[in-house]
């Protein structure tokens, strides 16, 4: 009797992607702590985009202020972000994955993708993908294997770095049951605090939670969804439909605090121009705006509105943004401004629907 062949979801996640790309460009940095962020100057306001494993041993992590990272790892090499190089490297990786026989590839970002395969031995397929990516790009990756997208995504964390791990219905609870809910994809610290208020702290507790309690806390859509997440369930289909942006955003951390109204307005005008350039390339109008304001020292507020009727007109969008900015605390200095413009999806634009605005 022949070996049974099943459909599997593989989650391919490149190890320390940005730092690894930089080491490929600068081989002399191999084995050294490498930090990438901002313009590579720790005296400026910027955050860490990524850190090599060597830098992580000093406690450096993504999102950390660059100046703090430099203090934690004084011998680290700090490099500026080069988005073009990372985009090109990512494209080569995704092309390699698509070249694997029978693979269906759903890109999640620069450094990760789901790959749908049919295989009798998914671990062997995972090792093949690792080898193919390494040979074509020089980059290492870890691979999670699952019978759902969620399980494959979570499994990757157990395989890092350069490893392979399988999570299925058979071993989900033995592996995940006693772990905190924050170990789940899609459950952050805020949701965890809300769950903890109901005595739900572990994956097993979430999987067995009373549905009425979850619906009461999170609503009729998200409540049941969180229980499914706790059980590792969800979609089993890898979708290679090209990704379409629902919105575009830009934000800037200013090296000098903005204290005068004229400075804030000039900064907002520049943000609007950049965001509308991105939106124009999509050929869809703006239906929603979210303005992010980070005050000194580090308090962040957001202000949002729907845009009715939808518009692509620069002056109209700018007027909306200036109205939102008028809601800020004008007595506080500003260190960061961000703007997100929401657009209808192509099918919604054709049908005249206005979807619910997503978060920042």
Is the peptide bond prior to 166 cis by the omega test (within 30 degrees of 0)?
no
Catalytic residue among 54, 112, 217, 260: 112
Confirm if 8 and 115 have CB atoms less than 8 A apart. Answer: no
Instruction: Please measure the distance between the N-terminal and C-terminal CA atoms of the chain and give it in whole angstroms.
Output: 54
Give dist(CA 312, CA 108) in Å, integer.
Answer: 28
Structure-block tokens of residue 354 = 């206005």
244 is written with which tokens?
Answer: 């379409």
The sheet that has 247-258: what strands, in order across it? Answer: 247-258, 334-342, 286-295, 299-311
Give the span between the Cα atoms of 172 and 165, in whole angstroms: 12
CA distances from 175 to 158, 167, 202, 204, 231 (A): 10, 8, 12, 10, 12
State the DSSP H helix or E strand holding residue 312, giving kind and residue range, or none if neither.
none
Considering only CA atoms, which of 329, 225, 244, 332 is closest in space to residue 283?
A: 244
Examine the residue annotation and report whether 112 is marked as an active-site residue of this protein.
Answer: yes
Whether the CB-CB separation of 152 and 165 falls below 8 Å is answered with no
| Active site (catalytic) residues | 112
């Amino acid at each position: 009797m022949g070996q049974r062949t099943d459909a599997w979801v593989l989650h391919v996640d490149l190890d320390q992607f940005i730092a690894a790309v930089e080491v490929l460009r600068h081989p002399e940095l191999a084995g050294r702590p490498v930090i990438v962020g901002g313009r590579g100057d720790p005296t400026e306001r910027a955050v860490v985009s990524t850190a090599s494993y060597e830098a992580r041993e000093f406690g450096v992590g993504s999102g950390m202020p660059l100046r703090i990272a430099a203090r934690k790892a004084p011998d680290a090499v700090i490099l500026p972000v080069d988005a073009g190089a990372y985009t090109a490297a990512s494209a080569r990786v995704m092309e390699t994955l698509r070249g694997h026989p029978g693979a269906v590839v759903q890109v999640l970002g620069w450094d990760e993708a789901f790959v749908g395969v049919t295989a009798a031995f998914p671990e062997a397929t995972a090792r093949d993908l690792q080898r193919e990516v390494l040979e074509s790009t020089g980059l290492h990756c870890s691979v999670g294997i699952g019978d759902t997208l969620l399980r494959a995504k979570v499994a990757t964390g157990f395989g890092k770095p350069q490893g392979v791990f399988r999570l299925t219905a058979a071993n989900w609870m033995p592996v995940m049951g006693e772990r905190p809910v924050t170990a789940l994809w899609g459950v952050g610290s805020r949701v965890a605090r809300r769950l903890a208020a109901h005595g739900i702290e572990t994956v097993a507790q979430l999987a067995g939670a009373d549905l009425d309690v979850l619906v009461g806390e999170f609503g009729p859509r998200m409540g049941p969804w969180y229980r499914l997440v706790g059980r590792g369930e969800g979609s089993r289909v890898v979708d290679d439909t090209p990704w379409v942006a629902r919105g575009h955003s830009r934000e800037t951390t200013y090296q000098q605090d903005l204290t005068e109204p004229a400075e804030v307005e000039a900064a907002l005008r520049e943000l609007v121009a950049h965001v509308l350039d991105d939106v124009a390339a999509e050929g869809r109008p703006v239906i929603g705006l979210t303005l992010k304001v980070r005050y000194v020292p580090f308090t962040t507020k957001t202000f949002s509105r729907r845009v009715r009727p939808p518009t692509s007109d620069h002056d109209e969008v700018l007027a909306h943004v200036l109205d939102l900015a008028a809601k800020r605390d004008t007595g506080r200095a500003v260190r960061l401004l961000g703007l997100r413009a929401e657009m209808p999806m192509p099918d919604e634009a054709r049908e005249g629907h206005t979807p619910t605005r997503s978060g920042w």
